[in-house]
Homo-oligomer: A and B are copies of this chain.
Amino acid sequence: MDRAGALMAGAALELIHCYSLVHDDLPAMDNDDLRRGRPTVHKAFDDATAILAGDALLTLAFDVMARTEVHADPAVRTALVLELARASGLGGMAGGQMLDLAAEGRFEGKRALNENEIITLQAMKTGALIRFACNAGAILGKADNATRTSIARYGSAIGQAFQIADDLLDVEGDAKTLGKAAGKDAAAGKATLVATLGVDRARARLNELVAEANAALAPFGSKSDMLRATARFIAERKA
C-alpha cells in the first residue's frame, strides 16, 4: 500500500473529526468554550463562522478523499468516500450525536438509556469513525475478506474501548491535562457506560476490549505491533 495515499485518506478522516468538534462545541450543541486547551471556534470568532467552518471542513474531507493521490484506482476512492459518508452521517456519527442529545432530554424529556442502548449510541457517535480508520486501511490495501473481518473486529473493539476510556477520563481527569472541561458528562446527566456500570466494572470492560482487539490481530503476527500499541494507548492515555 502507498504510504502517501494512506496519509491522505487519514487527513480526510481528520477533517471529518475536526468538523465534528467545531459543530459539537457550539452553544446550541455541547456549548464548550475550551478545546485542546484553546478557545473553541465560536468563542474565538462567532457561531456563524463555526457553522461555516465545520461545513467547509466536512466538504473538504470528501474533496481530499476523491483525489487521485489517495489511490490510483477510482474504485478504491469511491469505496472510501462511501464508507466515510456512512461512518460520519445519519447512520454513524451525526445520527449518534442526535441520539445523544435526545438521551440528554433535549427534545421530549430525559430518558435513562440501558447498557445496550448506550453501546449502540456510542458505536454510532464515536465508534463509526474509529472503525472507518481501520477499515480504510483494508480498502486501500484491497485486503481479502478474512483480513477485512479481522480488521473490522479490531476497529470495533478499540472504538468501544476509546469511548469507555474517554468517559473514565471525564470522571477522573482534570481540565488542565485534558485541554477541555472535565466532569461535563455527569453535569449533563449524559448516558455513559461509566455512569451505568460504575468505574470498576467500566475499567474491567475496557481491559476486556483491549484483549479482544489484540485477539483480532492474531493472524497478522508482529506486523501488527503498532496496532497493539494503539489499543494499549487508547486504554491508558491520560489526556
A66 touches B85 (CB 8 A): yes
Question: B-facing mask of A48-89, CB < 8 A → 1, else 0?
Answer: 110110111011101101110000011101100110111011
In the complex, chain B residues whose CB is within 8 Å of the CB of A107:
45-46, 49
Nearest B-chain residue to A94, judged by Cβ: B56
Number of interface residues, chain A, beta carbon within 8 A = 43
Q: How far is the CB of A67 from chain B (nearest CB, A)?
A: 7
Is the C-beta of A29 less than 8 angstroms from some C-beta in chain B? yes
Kindly state whether residue A227 has any CB partner on chain B within 8 Å: no
Can you tell how many copies of this chain the complex includes?
2
Instruction: Name the one of B47, B86, B97, B98 contacting A63, with C-beta atoms under 8 angstroms.
Output: B86
Q: Is the CB of A82 within 8 A of B58?
A: no
Are B90 and A62 in contact (CB-based, < 8 A)? no
**For chain A, what secondary structure do more than half of its interface residues adopt (helix, strand, loop), or is it mixed?**
helix
B59 close to A85 (CB less than 8 A): yes
Contacting pair B52 A78 (CB below 8 A) = no
A residues apposed to B, CB below 8 Å: 19, 23, 26, 28-29, 45-49, 51-52, 54-56, 58-60, 62-63, 65-67, 73-75, 77-78, 81-82, 84-86, 88-90, 94-95, 97-98, 101, 106-107
Apart from A23-B55, A52-B94, 16 more pairs, CB < 8 Å = A23-B51, A23-B52, A28-B48, A29-B48, A52-B98, A56-B89, A58-B59, A59-B94, A60-B85, A62-B84, A63-B86, A63-B89, A65-B81, A66-B85, A67-B82, A77-B78
